[in-house]
Structure 1
Amino acid sequence: MRLPTWLAHHLAALRALLVFTVLLGLAYPLALVAVGRLPGLANRADGSLVRAGGTPVGSALIGQAFTDADGHPVPRYFQSRPSAAGDGYDPTATAASNLGPESVVDTIATDPAQSTPSLLTQVCARSRAVGELDGVDGRRPYCTADGVGAVLAVFRADGLTGRITRVVSVNQAAPATPFLSTYRGVPVVPAEPGVDYVAAGGIVTPIRGDAPAEPAVPADAVTASGSGLDPHISPAYAEIQVARVARERGADPTAIRRLVEQHTSGRSLGFLGEPAVNVLALNLALDERFPAR
């Protein structure tokens, strides 16, 4: 007996569904699990977990913060690169800030909790904090001494031309003292919360300042990676932390530098990327070789 065409089509579709369910829903995942159990691959399949005393303390592939309960850096540890993934290094929220080089004006709300710093201010604040923590010059071009973007909104009589009528330091909220007292003879005033000076016609004018062209604090210390999970820092960032870590642990800085070198990986394939230091592995080695006093 020949089945009706519509029923034959439905049965064929059902058979295909069952076959692909078995292949892709059962056989394929189980095959990948089996491959992940092969010698040499098991550690990678488990997330490259790092253990101390048999207890998992992190992953060699995912960064983490070395801070206290209040979020302050623990001085005896090397600090990681900033993260924009969730609350920091969250693999379920891996992401960048999506802020670019044109993000130089903060959103200053009446409620400070609603204020949003620009990328420039984030970089300035991080550089200042790193400078204070590690005893180096934290100044950067286009940053104020108090760690925000040095940006003015300049108002002119005829919009883009004409005499300057008003100047506002857009990232310093009243009653802060502006980083410049005057701009081209016109007094600079602090910003009022809730006012959009760009929409009001102000010309965004970053001020470079007198910071060195090559900041002492390297770029990876003040910017997050694209994933927000980078477990590495640059050798340059590690170097400016050596003196602090050595002091906190009562160790010879030369010995700390040697340990940094041992945990520095070279370029991939000899030419891709840059040398990098795995922060978690380095800090675990510190705890083993130079326990905190």
Structure 2
Amino acid sequence: MRLPSWLSQHLAALRAVLVFTVLLGLVYPLALVAVGRLPGLAGRADGSLVEAGGKTVGSVLIGQSFTDADGNPVPRYFQSRPSVAGDGYDPTATAASNLGPEGVVDTVAADPDESRQSLLTLVCARSRAVGELDGVDGRRPYCTPDGVGAVLAVFRADGLTGRITRVVSVNQVAPATPFVGSWQGVPVELAQPGHDYVAEGGIVTPVRGDAPDKPAVPADAVTASGSGLDPHISPAYAEIQVARVARERGADPAAIRKLVEEHTTGRALGFMGEPAVNVLELNLALDARFPTR
């Protein structure tokens, strides 16, 4: 007996579903698992985990912080770049912030929990902290000496024109000292929590200052990667940390520098990307060759 056309079409569709379910839901995944078990690939399939002293201490693919219980950098280790993934390097919260280069004014709320730093202030604060930790010049253009964005809200008598009537350092609050005492003859005030000086008519005016054109603290030391999980730092960031690590471990800086070179990878295929240093692998090598007492 010949089946109705509608029924035969449904049976053909069902057979196709079953075939592709077996192929793509069972055979293909199991084939990939089998390939991942091949010698030389098993470690990568498991996440490129790193062991030390019989314990898993991390992955070469995911960065981590080298800080104490209070979040302060441990001086004997090379430090990673900042991370905004969760509380830092959280693979379940990988993301970038939504802060952009035009975000230069902090949100200073009466409730500290509602305050929010701009990207400029985050960069300034990080650069200042790295400079103090590693004994280098932490100054950057458009940053105040106390590590916030050097930005003024300039009020004029006729909106965008006319004489200046008021100037506020929008990212500095008491007990700070204004990074400039006056602007075109008008005394500079500190910001007051809860005020939106831009909405009140202030003209946003970043002030470059006298910082060098090329900061001593490199960009990857003050900005997070897009994923927040980057395990690498630039050779330039590693270089400014050499003296500190050598001092903390009682080692020759030249020996520490050589170890950095050994853990520096070049550009992919010779032209893609930039040279990079894997921080976890470098710090494990430090513990092996220059253990602290």
TM-score range, shorter chain: over 0.9
Is 1:165 aligned with 2:196?
A: no
Alignment of 1:251-262 (within 5 A): 251-262=251-262
Q: Partner of 1:187 in structure 2?
A: 187
Q: Partner of 2:222 in structure 1?
A: 222
1:127-180 Cα offsets, whole Å, 9 max, x none, are 000011111111111001111000011111111111111111111123432211
**1:216 shift after superposition:** 0.9
**1:5 shift after superposition:** 4.4
Distance 1:196 1:272 in 2: 44
Distance 1:168 1:3 in 2: 84
- Normalising to structure 2: TM-score of the pair? 0.96
Q: Partner of 2:81 in structure 1?
A: 81
Distance 1:69 1:286 in 2: 21
**1:66 shift after superposition:** 0.2
Distance 2:112 2:213 in 1: 32
AA in 2 matched with 1:229: L
The list of structure 1 runs, each at least 4 consecutive aligned residues, that deviate by more than 6 angstroms after superposition, is none
**1:188 shift after superposition:** 0.9
Distance 1:129 1:246 in 2: 19
Q: Partner of 2:290 in structure 1?
A: 290
SS of the equivalent of 2:33 reads: helix
Q: How many residues align?
A: 293
Alignment of 1:222-241 (within 5 A): 222-241=222-241
The two structures, once aligned, show a CA RMSD in angstroms of 1.3
Is 1:31 aligned with 2:48?
A: no
1:9-64 Cα offsets, whole Å, 9 max, x none, are 43333323222221221111111111111122111111111111232111111110
Distance 2:264 2:200 in 1: 50
Unmatched runs of 5 consecutive residues or more in structure 1: none
Q: Partner of 2:139 in structure 1?
A: 139
Distance 2:8 2:144 in 1: 75
Q: Partner of 1:58 in structure 2?
A: 58
Identity %: 85
Distance 1:114 1:12 in 2: 60
Unmatched runs of 5 consecutive residues or more in structure 2: none
Q: Which stretch has the larger CA shift, 165-174 or 128-137?
A: 165-174
